[in-house]
Structure 1
Amino acid sequence: MLRHRLAALFDPASVLVVGPAALPMKTIASLGRLARHQTHVVWSDSAPAQWPQDLAGVPSGRRLDLAVLALPYHALPKTLNALERYRPRALIVLSPPSPSATPGQDCAVCVQWAREHDCVMLGPRTLGIQRPHLGLNASLSSDLALPGKVALVSQSEAIVSAVLDWARDANLGFSTVASMGDETDLTLARLLDYLATDSRTDSIAVYLEQVPSPRALFSALRAAAAVKPVVVLKAGGGSRNPNSESDAVFNALLRRAGAVRIPYFVQLFSAIKVLRSPVRPKGRRIAVVSNGSGPPQLALDIMGVAAAVQRAELSLQTQKALAESLEDAAQVANPVVTRVALTPETMRKVLTSLTTDVGVDGILVLLAPDQRVDMAAVVAQLAHTAASAAKPVMACLMGEATMRPLRHRLDEAGIPSFRTPEAAINAFGVLATYHYNQVLSQQTLPPEPLNQPPQVDQARRLIKAVLQAQRTTLEFEECVQLLGCFDVPVELLSTHDDFPGLSHVDDVPMAIRVGHDAQYGPFINFGSGGRTVISSRDRAVDLPPLNSFLARQIIERSVVWRRALRHQISPAAQASLEDALERLSDMVCMLPEIQHILIDPLWAGNTRLFAQSVHIDVAPSCLTALPEQSGYGHMAIHPYPRQLVQEKQFVDGRPWLMRPIRPEDAEPLQRFVRALSDESRYMRFVSMLRELTPSMLARYSRIDYDRELALVATVQLPNPEHRGHPQEEIIGFAHYLRNADGRGAEYALVVADNWQRHGLGKELLQGLLQVARDQRLDYIEGFVLAANRPMLGLMTRMGFQNDVDEDDPTLRRVWLSL
């Protein structure tokens, strides 16, 4: 198996540490105790000649894995020169005690050196990294974190220090701790890509201060969150944020990536606790159990329709079972409240009843100290029952003197426990929001165009004429014409026209706003009419591209929907509203010149939408080619590449379809892999796996079209489970992913056994090559088993070079210059 490029940083086989005697002793000692790491410690920052000439842990002709530098900035150039003979694969430049007078110049020197020597660099100005399960502490923190399954990544050294200090007290561990420092060579996106595939990491917590590249961050977050929960704490939010609109757009970006944003630092601790739980809820309905009436009310105060979680409605069968388990005066509707001395057996019965209720997605147990009760025994039963529950169970043990040790016991048992009801509900909200955002992240544009294909060329000519006239605002008739080009179902009326067909005289006016954020690109906002700005807490914001599901979610997240619209709007008018949002999304995807659209006020008739005012602003595009030819560079999310859908025929005339893969192809792709012969599976995956793992399935079907592409070949075959009706089946799969150098990509190709020697492999590979050329990649490469002669023959016929892999003679590197 090929080694990940970042393995030299996070799983080094050889380490060289260079630093002054003032470096914390525990840092070096912890690193030096590793028997599996051939660690060399050099205490002098001024005498590279005294370094060991030969590193015992580096075989002849091989490179050093990791070099760790803890030096004053003035010593860096000489030290980097001395490092050349070791050719480290990875480099960490720790923050020295004294700041640099020329930080920009120091960064440039380090970046240039790393690029010239093909070295991954973390820093400068970083606290370093920790890999607790390896005992690796290449950081300025004196204490090594406990081993765990949560990865912590931060752009702030102080945040890392604070979280590590808290975690030691809470007895929580980490799989990885990484301080990003100056994001120069090793970007946050690349680090997230590594953690997404790290078997030691089950979830990821990220602290952000700035977003250098929104599309790269979105790509990495989406890939990571597809296989494990990701929570993000970002500075700069809140009501006092002067750029609240941009913050709302960032929230929308995280939702679409499938990650979860938490607004406060204290919630980061709750999130880290809850992310350790292997059980994820499938919804947001929470049942509350308590030994008193006060604590549940505090929890209910922050639950509701507009909150991340809401109170579950217990079935009559569950309420009957609870009544049989509790005293006569107990409350058996949610919240479940008992006021008599609680026993372990009662706790077991209550939890069992709630976990079997299909209307419950998670359970929160709120307990206050009770001198009548053996609370330790009750908590032990809680931990035992929760450990085997199919739904997440969390606890809030209120109090300190007697309850704090019990919280630690639950934490050690893997059951998240909290001091306050608010913290517990917020923690449940993290999991519920993750589930909801994952649904959003799987949405993509359908492969077919909208029912009425847009007149894109006509729209582009219209905007070109406006800009050539040195105008930036479209006149009313031009707005009508532009919306008509995309068949936006909104009837624009003059100011003196009546509003025909309104369902109520007092209907609430709505508004659709399309804006353009300088960092995140175009966004779409829906809400009540008359507003001029959106706040950072506005959830009725999303980024294009949209489909009908995403359009409906924007509407239903809005305040105007919850307060009035859901009771007034007709199904036909709601369908028109969703269609309007979807078509406006299509418009901004295809027309990067659009800066602002405001349709306000917007009214819903019985079946149609009416607007009295529309305003559209445009500006010259910075793209050098049409969006569909240049990767939609004006957007944070790459749309589904519909232009790549191609109808084809075999030599015998049978039709087949080549198209980019979609998230809903996950199950057909799994069927495709299961149907492969053992030989085909081994040739493709270099293993005998019978089917794709869930993470592999998500990885291959939820494609980020900005940096990778997966094409499938499909045919219509009879489905015996549905009376022989045709069903689309995958018979070929081709995929490429950009390499870390940004210049090339690595491809993979597999064809179903029964469909080989029909030209599918060649067609799919040619499709990949064409897109790779359009994206201006320099080369494409793949690694093929030397025994796979048919594939090697195909590559040779298509002009690929065939080289022996230096690290594995059983593999061939086949590559093509583009």
Structure 2
Amino acid sequence: MLRHRLAALFEPRTVLIITDRPLALAQEPPRWLRNALTVVEAPPGSEPGVPEALCGVVPGARLDLALLCIDPALLGLALSRLERHRPRSLVILPHDRHSEAPGDDIERCRAWGAEHDCAVLGPRSFGIQRPHLGLNFSHQPQAPLGGRVALVTQSRSITAAVLDWARDIHLGFSAVVSLGDEAGVDVPDVLDYLSMDSRTDGIALYLEEPTSSRRFTSALRAAASVKPVVVLKVGRDGDSDSAEDVVFNALLRRAGAVRIRYFVQLFSALKVLVHTRRPRGRKIALFSNGKGASQLALDVMGGPESVSRADLSQASVKALSELLEPGSDARNPVVTYARMDADIVRQVVDILATDPGVDGVLALLCPDPLSDIEGAARQLARMAPEARKPIITCFLGDAGMRPLRHILDAVGTPAFRTPESAANAFGILGAYHYNQMLSQQILPPEPLGKLPRLDDARRIVGAAQRERRRVLTRQECRELLDCFHMPLRYVHGHVMVDDTPEDPYDDPLPMAIRVSRDPRFGPYIVFGSGAQDALLAAEQRAVELPPLNSYLARKLVQRSSLWQRALLTQITPAAFDCLIETLERVSQMVSELPGLDAVVIDPLYANDDSLVASLVRMELNSASMLVLPETTGYGHMAIHPYPRRLVQSKVFKDGQPWMLRPIRPEDAEPLQAFIRGLSDKSRYMRFVSMLRELTPRMLARYTRIDYDRELALVATVQVPNPEHRGHPREQIIGFAHYLRNPDGRGAEYALVIADDWQRRGLGAQLMRGLIDAAQEQGLTYIDGLVLAANRPMLSLMDHLGFQNDPDEEDPTMRRVWLDLGETRRP
């Protein structure tokens, strides 16, 4: 596998430290690094010297990492002296002498990093810690314990606080990084690296401000597709219902990450990410010795994205009633008041964990001198690691209960101190499950019914813009909606813009669909109450980011307070279908029309079989309608839509049809079957290893992609499916992928063709599809590394016009590349 650009930062093979104060790593480096570490101790205020030769660095090769801890006034001089060693990464730690011009330092580091192809962390960065490697590139006197969760923050002080807390409870990390001024390396860069880091099973992110909305969204989706990501974001100014905050929550849902709101929740998230199994649903069973603890837990549960109380089956209730003492409660929560011991715990948890309606078990135990609480704890410690569903525990108290919590923590099930924190931990898991479902939703490959009349729609918006109008007329609103085939009827046969007519129904249920634009994350869609009712429900807005499919549209409606309050029982199935289609088409409209700034359909009424709009208003911005959004990567949106335009039906020379299309999340199993079906030689030529199948993370990484930063195309044919009476199913026969390089100008490609389908021109057609898409996105080159022994691939690249150069670091590899401005078609 190819080495990631940030591997030099997180896993350096050669290191230079220039410091004017003691650093732990310089004084006690790990044994494996001693022959590859050069330490230059510069007296305070002196000019930082850089030796000609460095330990472990082959003459002419690049240094992996340089670390600077010097007076900021000497930063420019140190950078100039580092140039001859061409470090791949640079860490700049804070100094007790403050810079006279911190802004200038940031710009100097950013320009230097870009000029010398160096990943700069800082200035004023906490640094990086990699406990399993014994690396501590920070001021901290010691690194934390090793673990499976990475901590990423935009605050040195928060990092220090979390590490201090983690040391007290013996919690470890796979990596710790705090970014400082982000002159080079930023949050998206780190997320991108950690998404494929084999040492990291989960990521905790403390965020103050996303540095780039599209890059942040893309990297977050990539990371959350393969491992849990929890985000603690600050800066709400005390208003958790601000539009910006609501939109950010919607973004995290679509990325598959989980938002936590309080610092104390970060600790719960870290514990639950480290230990527990992932639930398949959001229904949990509670078990406690006494009613109070379970009631406290229930009080903090709820919400459409959180966990809720499971309904136990009659068989479970009967078994629990027979097991527990008279007067106990055998329904959820299960409460016993009798003596607690290990056997009771084993039987109760067994019953709850095997109930088909239960997705997880929360055991809450209070101190009881009449019970064997330690025996109960040890029983839970034996059961939890082998359970098929997550078991989370709460041992209320401190002096006597803390050692029992440590028993559970040590064997792999998180134990909490309070019912609220335990329930919140399950809520984090529930939100993770819910958001993962949303993150896998993309548009289907086939469009909704009729194709929109995009040329007509763009002509309407463009004409108004040329007249310098910001609001469309009544007739223009109607025509624009008709261009997208909205399933709406209009009161009196036309759209009312200025005045609302009298309600056409005796007992109307006013709804509203609104589109607004966030300055960072672009358009977002709001569904809820309409007319005057909208003022009453503003605190429970249901918000989603486009693009929407039918699943996302349904979830948007069901998250609204209007759904639970009235719509669930009052709207007919036919009208509900119209509502879902309308939301999908509104999403399509704002995706394809960057010049559309705001849309209001309010009030919107449902009758027996349709929707009736009383008022529609549309506002415009200055985005040109002459520039197609697909050529700019849908830059006006936070999430790139599925590139449906790349779906193409094709035919081989022998007449057999096949399909070329972008990959989708549901292609995971077919892609795995494709990889398993490759010969050992084909797998080695593609992955430079003998792996026989993709790991779950690799599988998710290749199928749940962001179409802005990467593209994966598959070639498929229809084959009989013996499991479904021979009905045809899609089979993947070719896979091509590119990922944007860190410079933002080019992309690295990968290509593999099924053995039985080689020598039919399939590789050339897949590569041309990648090349066309890369050119459309404005990339200037595409390149890749190919084994020098892979003659068929090198021959294909030569046929397509690629240059073939030796790789400066590995003589067994060739770098092939194509200048997209000079692409030639054979």
Give 1:32 deviation, angstroms.
6.3
Spell out, residue by residue over 1:724-757, the C-alpha distance to the aligned partner (whole angstroms, 9 max, x if none): 2222221111111111121211111111222211
Letter in 1 for 2:13: A
Letter in 2 for 1:525: V
Aligned partners of 1:444 and 1:540: how far apart in 2? 19
- Residue correspondence of structure 1 range 45-124 to structure 2 within 5 A: 45-47=44-46, 51-124=50-123
Give 1:408 deviation, angstroms.
2.3
Letter in 1 for 2:794: L
Deviates more, 1:443-452 or 1:546-555: 443-452
Letter in 2 for 1:412: A
Equivalence for 1:411: 409
- Residue correspondence of structure 1 range 135-174 to structure 2 within 5 A: 135-174=134-173
Q: Secondary structure at the match of 2:123?
A: strand
Equivalence for 2:630: 628
Spell out, residue by residue over 1:677-733, the C-alpha distance to the aligned partner (whole angstroms, 9 max, x if none): 222222222222222111111111112110111111112222222222222221111
Give 1:305 deviation, angstroms.
5.3
Equivalence for 1:619: 621
Preserved contact between residue 681 and residue 688 of structure 1 (Cα < 8 Å): yes
Letter in 2 for 1:650: F
Preserved contact between residue 30 and residue 135 of structure 1 (Cα < 8 Å): no
Preserved contact between residue 276 and residue 391 of structure 2 (Cα < 8 Å): no
Letter in 2 for 1:445: L
Give 1:442 deviation, angstroms.
0.7
Equivalence for 2:199: 200
Aligned partners of 2:748 and 2:435: how far apart in 1? 29
In structure 2, do the counterparts of structure 1 residues 798 and 533 end up closer, same or farther at CA, with 3 Å as the change threshold? farther
Aligned partners of 2:35 and 2:318: how far apart in 1? 61
Equivalence for 2:263: 265
Letter in 1 for 2:673: R
Aligned partners of 1:533 and 1:4: how far apart in 2? 51
Aligned partners of 2:500 and 2:180: how far apart in 1? 60
Give 1:624 deviation, angstroms.
6.8
Preserved contact between residue 461 and residue 625 of structure 2 (Cα < 8 Å): no
Preserved contact between residue 623 and residue 633 of structure 1 (Cα < 8 Å): no
The alignment status of 1:134 with 2:136, answered yes or no, reads: no
Q: Secondary structure at the match of 2:774?
A: helix
Spell out, residue by residue over 1:659-692, the C-alpha distance to the aligned partner (whole angstroms, 9 max, x if none): 1111111111112222222222222222222221
Aligned partners of 2:373 and 2:32: how far apart in 1? 42
Equivalence for 1:687: 689
The alignment status of 1:18 with 2:18, answered yes or no, reads: yes
Aligned partners of 1:17 and 1:538: how far apart in 2? 53
What is the aligned residue count? 812
Aligned partners of 2:447 and 2:535: how far apart in 1? 32
Aligned partners of 2:60 and 2:587: how far apart in 1? 55
Q: Secondary structure at the match of 1:607?
A: coil
The alignment status of 1:513 with 2:514, answered yes or no, reads: yes
The alignment status of 1:475 with 2:473, answered yes or no, reads: yes
Aligned partners of 1:532 and 1:510: how far apart in 2? 8
Equivalence for 2:529: 528
Unaligned runs of 5+ in 2: 493-498, 821-826
Aligned partners of 1:797 and 1:304: how far apart in 2? 60
Deviates more, 1:537-546 or 1:583-592: 537-546
Aligned partners of 1:800 and 1:527: how far apart in 2? 54
Unaligned runs of 5+ in 1: none
Give 1:278 deviation, angstroms.
4.6
Preserved contact between residue 470 and residue 621 of structure 2 (Cα < 8 Å): yes
Preserved contact between residue 309 and residue 429 of structure 1 (Cα < 8 Å): yes
Letter in 2 for 1:162: A
Give 1:46 deviation, angstroms.
4.7
Equivalence for 1:429: 427
Deviates more, 1:781-790 or 1:660-669: 781-790
Identity of aligned residues (%): 57
Give 1:629 deviation, angstroms.
2.0
Preserved contact between residue 291 and residue 338 of structure 1 (Cα < 8 Å): yes
Preserved contact between residue 363 and residue 392 of structure 2 (Cα < 8 Å): yes
Preserved contact between residue 171 and residue 412 of structure 1 (Cα < 8 Å): no
Aligned partners of 1:536 and 1:441: how far apart in 2? 26
Aligned partners of 1:529 and 1:418: how far apart in 2? 43
The alignment status of 1:364 with 2:365, answered yes or no, reads: no
Equivalence for 1:343: 341
Preserved contact between residue 221 and residue 257 of structure 1 (Cα < 8 Å): yes
Spell out, residue by residue over 1:315-340, the C-alpha distance to the aligned partner (whole angstroms, 9 max, x if none): 12222332343223321111111111
Q: Secondary structure at the match of 1:124?
A: coil
Deviates more, 1:302-311 or 1:515-524: 302-311
Equivalence for 1:676: 678
In structure 2, do the counterparts of structure 1 residues 533 and 676 end up closer, same or farther at CA, with 3 Å as the change threshold? farther
Q: Aligned-pair RMSD on alpha carbons?
A: 2.0
Q: TM-score when scaled to structure 2? A: 0.95
In structure 2, do the counterparts of structure 1 residues 94 and 614 end up closer, same or farther at CA, with 3 Å as the change threshold? same
Give 1:215 deviation, angstroms.
1.0
Deviates more, 1:715-724 or 1:161-170: 715-724
Equivalence for 1:222: 221
Give 1:101 deviation, angstroms.
2.2
Spell out, residue by residue over 1:388-447, the C-alpha distance to the aligned partner (whole angstroms, 9 max, x if none): 111111111111111122222222222111111111111111111111111111111111
In structure 2, do the counterparts of structure 1 residues 88 and 671 end up closer, same or farther at CA, with 3 Å as the change threshold? same
Preserved contact between residue 252 and residue 539 of structure 1 (Cα < 8 Å): no
- Residue correspondence of structure 1 range 179-328 to structure 2 within 5 A: 179-237=178-236, 240=239, 244-304=242-302, 306=304, 308-328=306-326
Q: Select which of 706, 709, 714 maps to 2:716.
A: 714
Q: Select which of 383, 386, 405 maps to 1:385.
A: 383
